[in-house]
Structure 1
Amino acid sequence: MTLPLYLYTAEQVKRGEVVAAQQAGIELYQLMLRAGEATFALLQEQYPNAAHITVVCGAGNNGGDGFVVARLAKEAGLDVDLFLTSDATILMGDAAQAYQAWLTAGGRLTSFDKFETSLQSCDVIVDGILGTGLKGDVRANLASLFQVINQANKPIVAIDLPSGLCADTGRILGAAICANHTISFIGLKQGLVTGDGRSVTGRLHFAGLEVEEQFIELYSPSAQLLDYHSVAELLPQRSPVAHKGDHGRVTCIGGNLGYAGAIRLCAQAAVRSGAGLTSALCHSASILPLQLACPEVMARDWDGSKRILFERLKRQDVVAIGPGLGMDDWAKTAVQSVNQLQLAKVVDADALNLLAQSPNSDENRVITPHPGEAARLLAVSINDIENDRYAAVKALHQRYGGVVVLKGAGTLIFDGQTVFVCAVGNAGMASGGMGDVLTGVIAALIGQGLSISQAARLGVLVHSQAADDLVLTHGQIGLTASDLVPQIRRLLNGIHKS
């Protein structure tokens, strides 16, 4: 089950599945049967030795899918406990038909006084409780039920999406099932791949139910997953007669007193990501550590003079500003001066905090905020950002222009046209300096001829993929930003290998 690249809202899928089924000449109940079959096939594939499953269903079509799974499991000889969170008399439409098919097959509902016993004895739990229609927070009784399920320490397969997760925003609506596997149908829901969705979805699977071709003709996607092959092809091949000036002149500004490490990470990432000439303007105390770590960087101290800054930047292709910059007058002068330049910019860290104090729009700029910085840029809370990351990245673009990289689980990139989502990366990246490296990588890619949108996409992807590659061999604990730099170099060099 290869994941499609295009993402959709819950409303698009809800409306589209009806039309797609009509165009395919099938009834909606047939889609429910196919969804149940795909879920049961996934269960058998992932847990082939499962002999006893617990299926928990709600009253909607998500529960209807669950009834189909339960019936198929029973017919396959598995021991099935089926629990319904509502009264069976309120079931309607396709869900009622699927429930009746379960009864006809000899199935029965299990009483909830046996719920915890069932969870203790089962091999797999199937979540068919809540679907995409949930709007407000989960009711208290269901929240308590979710807690019991999550604490059972049993594998969970979620149908369409983990119950309690908002299909559009990726926000947990008060409480949610924490699945090991989630199978989404017809159109991949955008909330599954960012924010809290990354923490409760587990491994994501997709089944088009044989109507995906009809569906994709109906709607433009709401967002798009980054695809490594298509993004990697953006990096141009180098000419055999190229010289260092052909691959970009990058200047990194930051490294205020006590922050030599940040500017070192940024500049070294730029060098290792292919920048032809990399220089750094920093505090005098940061020069020696930077030159010892990376002698290829032309490190110079800067006294705060705008004239000197303009002189040093007039022949540059891109400037990366923010890593270790600080918030003092020296830093403010740097940001104000860079804002006046026409060259491409990558803005991170304290340069973003200073931008929040004096907002301006720049179409030739990449900003790379984490949720805290994004909150300051929009004068809202971090919760406001994380509650709807898609809305936040668009609001940031509207206010600041250019390309916005909203970092976090499921990093979002918005260039004013398309929202891209990075589906790779891991929790080991939650450590200091990761953003400094990303800033240097994006700046280097701009220097090599990529547009700011292309550089942001490729930079985010290789940065996160490098972290995933390292975690496979070394684990998440102790992953450092400097660990990523050699692996990013390997990934970039592997792009054009035959």
Structure 2
Amino acid sequence: MNQPSLPHALYRADQARALDRAACLQPELSGRELMERAARAAQRLVAARWPQARRICVLVGGGNNGGDGYALARLLRRAGREVRVLSLVAPERLRHEAAEACRDWRAVGGAIEPWRGGLPEDAELLVDALLGIGLERPLREHWAEAVRALNAHPAPVLALDLPTGLHADRGAVLGEVVRASATISFIVLKQGLLTGVGPGCCGRLHWDSLGVAEGLLTAAPVSARRIDWASQCACLGVRRRDAHKGQCGHVLVIGGAPGMSGAARLAGEAALRAGAGLVTIATHPTHAALLNLTRPELMVRGVEHGGDLGSLLARADLVAIGPGLGRDAWGRGLWQRVLECRLPLVVDADALNLLAEQPLRRDDWVLTPHPGEAGRLLGCGTAAVEADRFAALAALRQKYGGVLVLKGAGTLVGGADETPPAVCSDGNPGMATAGAGDVLTGVVAALIGQGMDAGEAARAGVCLHAAAGDRAARAGERGMIAGDIIEAVRALADGRENHHA
């Protein structure tokens, strides 16, 4: 989970460059001063995280990112560290601020070694100052070689502004990518750091505004917004003392074909733990009598076909459909019947696969695809979705309407309006486990049932689910199961705890 002091505004590379230019026009600021401030911010981070690292190797490129590296090397040397600078760009090719930073490094006796394909074995910290936010093409030749060398070395890696090889906008790998231990982003956070492979490449994410005026930053348009449970928990508030179950939503979960009853059960229990007043599960008759043996609070009905759903739909406030639904005649019949009702829908799993076969638009649903399901909904492969998650989210919104939740590292949420998409910064890789998506379905449905609109419920539900995963991960990420996430949902969804946090 990223540190809570990160800003919520996220930007594309072109927006970040425009802000950088605007900042240089402010009194007492210049490109060179910003470079020095970036170096000082990075030096403070090195002092805090790696105080014992004496031998540091800085890899520099040819632009401002390389200039940041030269400036940092000079400050580290002044602080008594042994610093080696390896350059992939000849110093005489440097321009403007980067050239000045290089001259200052040489002025204090710093040497510049050309890249020869290897890193010093005794280095205790490596600094990635190779390429910044302007990279658009896959890394090749010695650039790719340098990235591979950084990843193979046992020392930790600090990336300046952005890990080399990561696309600043898309969070995708451009050929090769640095797997940093930490990344410090300057002035603004780039949206690609928080989704796709970004979280796995940047390590612990830090940020420094470099003293750029807050008014300048807040006035600039953003491309996306970071969300987390700390920013969303107030949506729940504290439950009224005179509340009753009829005011907290009746969720109808539809799913659980033979052999897949657990998915519906997980969604139903998660809905209860997230505060739903009533939960009914409509499932296949072969296991209906067994589904709630250890959770009697769930009401369970066996249904043979879509026609059996009439009375259940009449009593429900909304429907969550898809967990364990299957794509045989039974599941298809239930899906077609649900499409005839006008209740709000949360659509997941096989319901999404059935939707992909016969696409349609609605404004009253929340779709929660993982990248594979998103690819089927868009008629492309999973790799195409992951190559540009923001573009995939926009295409899903355009084609299917409603609210879209594109799951994965840095889950994206796109509302029904034209507001910037949201990126969840909570969560951890332990949540890559069977049934975690079913839990999210139940959580989002429960929040809609308690009165949130679909977009608000999707944003809060994604963050509640992710934060519950982080709480469950205190016992270890590897081996976490979906039930562990459900157990953590209850404590976080309690408005009293959030109110006093």
Q: Which category describes the TM-score, using the shorter chain as reference length?
A: over 0.9
TM-score (norm 1): 0.97
Q: CA deviation at 1:460?
A: 0.9
Hey, what's the Cα distance between the residues in 2 that align with 1:217 and 1:17? 14
CA separation of 1:78 and 1:496: change in aligned 2, threshold 3 A:
closer
TM-score (norm 2): 0.96
Give runs of aligned pairs for residues 189-268 of structure 1, distance below 5 A: 189-268=190-269
Within the alignment, does 1:368 sit opposite 2:346 as a pair? no
- Contact 1:260/1:289 (CA < 8 Å) preserved in 2? no
Hey, what's the Cα distance between the residues in 2 that align with 1:333 and 1:260? 17
- Contact 2:90/2:114 (CA < 8 Å) preserved in 1? no
Higher mean displacement: 140-149 or 227-236: 227-236
The counterpart of 2:457, out of the listed 447, 455, 458, is 455
Aligned to 1:276: 277
Letter in 2 for 1:159: L
RMSD: 1.4
Within the alignment, does 1:432 sit opposite 2:431 as a pair? no
Query: CA offsets, 1:226-255, max 9 Å, x none?
Result: 132331111143222222111001100001
Within the alignment, does 1:285 sit opposite 2:306 as a pair? no
Letter in 1 for 2:254: I
- Contact 2:347/2:366 (CA < 8 Å) preserved in 1? yes
CA separation of 1:114 and 1:240: change in aligned 2, threshold 3 A:
closer
Q: CA deviation at 1:218?
A: 4.0
User: What secondary structure is seen at the aligned counterpart in 2 of 1:205?
Assistant: strand
The counterpart of 1:104, out of the listed 98, 104, 107, is 107
Letter in 1 for 2:335: V
Letter in 2 for 1:357: E
Aligned to 2:188: 187
Letter in 1 for 2:459: R
Within the alignment, does 1:325 sit opposite 2:325 as a pair? yes
Give runs of aligned pairs for residues 15-30 of structure 1, distance below 5 A: 15-30=18-33
Query: CA offsets, 1:317-371, max 9 Å, x none?
Result: 1100000100012211211221222211100000000000111111110111000
Hey, what's the Cα distance between the residues in 2 that align with 1:451 and 1:134? 39
Hey, what's the Cα distance between the residues in 2 that align with 1:206 and 1:230? 18
Q: CA deviation at 1:51?
A: 1.0
Query: CA offsets, 1:357-397, max 9 Å, x none?
Result: 11111111011100000000000111110000011111111
Hey, what's the Cα distance between the residues in 1 that align with 2:367 and 2:219? 33
Aligned to 2:424: 422
Aligned to 1:315: 315
Q: CA deviation at 1:212?
A: 4.7
Q: CA deviation at 1:497?
A: 4.6
Aligned to 1:404: 404
Query: CA offsets, 1:258-296, max 9 Å, x none?
Result: 111111111111111111111011101221331202111
- Contact 1:187/1:212 (CA < 8 Å) preserved in 2? no
Aligned to 1:378: 378
Letter in 2 for 1:192: L
Aligned to 2:446: 444
For structure 2, the 5+ residue unaligned runs are none
Hey, what's the Cα distance between the residues in 2 that align with 1:289 and 1:98? 71
- Contact 1:326/1:350 (CA < 8 Å) preserved in 2? yes
User: What secondary structure is seen at the aligned counterpart in 2 of 1:285?
Assistant: coil
Hey, what's the Cα distance between the residues in 2 that align with 1:310 and 1:172? 49
- Contact 2:228/2:425 (CA < 8 Å) preserved in 1? no
Hey, what's the Cα distance between the residues in 2 that align with 1:19 and 1:305? 60
The counterpart of 2:62, out of the listed 59, 64, 88, is 59
Hey, what's the Cα distance between the residues in 1 that align with 2:27 and 2:421? 30
The counterpart of 1:78, out of the listed 52, 76, 81, is 81
User: What secondary structure is seen at the aligned counterpart in 2 of 1:245?
Assistant: helix
For structure 1, the 5+ residue unaligned runs are none
Within the alignment, does 1:163 sit opposite 2:164 as a pair? yes
User: What secondary structure is seen at the aligned counterpart in 1 of 2:25?
Assistant: helix
Hey, what's the Cα distance between the residues in 2 that align with 1:82 and 1:143? 18
Aligned to 1:467: 469
Letter in 2 for 1:358: Q
- Contact 1:191/1:197 (CA < 8 Å) preserved in 2? yes
User: What secondary structure is seen at the aligned counterpart in 2 of 1:441?
Assistant: helix
Hey, what's the Cα distance between the residues in 2 that align with 1:112 and 1:398? 47
Aligned to 1:10: 13
Aligned to 2:489: 488
Higher mean displacement: 58-67 or 337-346: 337-346
- Contact 1:125/1:155 (CA < 8 Å) preserved in 2? yes
Q: CA deviation at 1:214?
A: 4.2
Query: CA offsets, 1:434-473, max 9 Å, x none?
Result: 111110111111111111111111111111111111212x
Letter in 1 for 2:460: L
Hey, what's the Cα distance between the residues in 2 that align with 1:298 and 1:391? 40
Aligned to 1:146: 147
Q: CA deviation at 1:113?
A: 4.7
- Contact 1:187/1:215 (CA < 8 Å) preserved in 2? no
Q: CA deviation at 1:23?
A: 2.6
Q: CA deviation at 1:476?
A: 1.2
- Contact 1:20/1:214 (CA < 8 Å) preserved in 2? no
Aligned to 1:298: 299
Hey, what's the Cα distance between the residues in 1 that align with 2:24 and 2:61? 23
Hey, what's the Cα distance between the residues in 2 that align with 1:411 and 1:111? 41
Hey, what's the Cα distance between the residues in 2 that align with 1:113 and 1:168? 31
- Contact 2:181/2:204 (CA < 8 Å) preserved in 1? yes
CA separation of 1:323 and 1:113: change in aligned 2, threshold 3 A:
closer
User: What secondary structure is seen at the aligned counterpart in 1 of 2:80?
Assistant: coil
Higher mean displacement: 330-339 or 35-44: 330-339
Hey, what's the Cα distance between the residues in 1 that align with 2:380 and 2:231? 35
Question: Aligned residue pairs: how many?
Answer: 494
